[in-house]
Amino acid sequence: MVSIRCKLIVKSEIEKLGLHHSAIKLGEVDIKEPISDETRNTLNTRLKRWGLELMEDKRSILIERIKDVIIETIHYADESVKINFSELLSERLGYSYTYLANIFSETTGSTIEHFVIAHRIERVKELLMYDDLTLNEIAYKLHYSSVAHLSHQFKKVTGLTPTFFKHLRHKRLTGREKIVAL
């Protein structure tokens, strides 16, 4: 549960069932009273309509919390300080990074590092589409050591250079503008 929208959906569905909560945080909800199996199933069914689900398996919950911290940090934080994900995850989740990395790779078949890279590249794409920042500014904002490092990683993941990706975007927009003008 990463977005504010997700939190609002969960809050609404919990309240519709007459349940009381003390907190709704990323990936977890503290409900004050015990929940019957029937209520739990109803809540799960309602959440599934929104593309959400209840998770009770501790490993699955931990994996989702790892993902939430990474996504929140990459997509929603405006910090300009260098982020060390191993320290951040350990600090936020209260486990050693080795433990978190092992559980993550065993469960997902991928590493935390690959997950971080994939989301950083998605964020680069978003920022390139907005056209507000230069490649140098994007590299700084997303904590790349250099524009060359960002470009290399971008090409490795997407098969395109950031400049070519941006060019394709402009080309598509120009084509759409011509269609609208007709």
What the chain holds in terms of domains, given with CATH numbers, is 4-54 (no CATH), 59-170 (1.10.10.60)
On average, the pLDDT of the chain sits at 85
Distance CA 59, CA 65 (A): 10
Name the residue with higher pLDDT: 179 or 145: 145
| 172 compared with 9, residue with greater pLDDT | 9
Mean pLDDT over 147-154 rounds to 96
**Whole-prediction pTM:** 0.70
pLDDT value at residue 47: 86
Please report the pLDDT score of residue 81 as a whole number: 54
Using an 8 Å Cβ cutoff, are 128 and 138 in contact? Answer: yes
* More confident site: 48 or 154: 154
Residue 172's pLDDT band (boundaries 50, 70, 90)?
Answer: low
For residues 151 and 162, is the Cβ–Cβ distance under 8 A? yes
Instruction: Scan for tokens 């739990």, then name that residue.
Output: 40
Distance between start and end Cα atoms, the chain: 43
Per-residue pLDDT band for 168 (boundaries 50, 70, 90) equals confident
Question: CA-CA distances (angstroms) from residue 151 to 32, 68, 126?
Answer: 49, 26, 15
Q: Residue 179: its pLDDT value, please?
A: 47
Mean per-residue pLDDT for 21-36?
77
Please give the Cα distance from 148 to 154 (Å, whole number).
Answer: 10
141: three-class secondary structure by DSSP:
helix
Of the candidate ranges 2-6, 61-65, 74-78, the one whose mean pLDDT is the lowest:
2-6
Residue 22 near residue 32, CB atoms below 8 Å: yes
Among 5-14, 26-35, 130-139, the range with the most confident prediction by mean pLDDT is 130-139
Using one digit for the tens of pLDDT, what is the confidence trace for 89-113?
999 999 999 999 999 999 999 999 9
Is the Cβ–Cβ distance between 165 and 105 less than 8 Å?
no
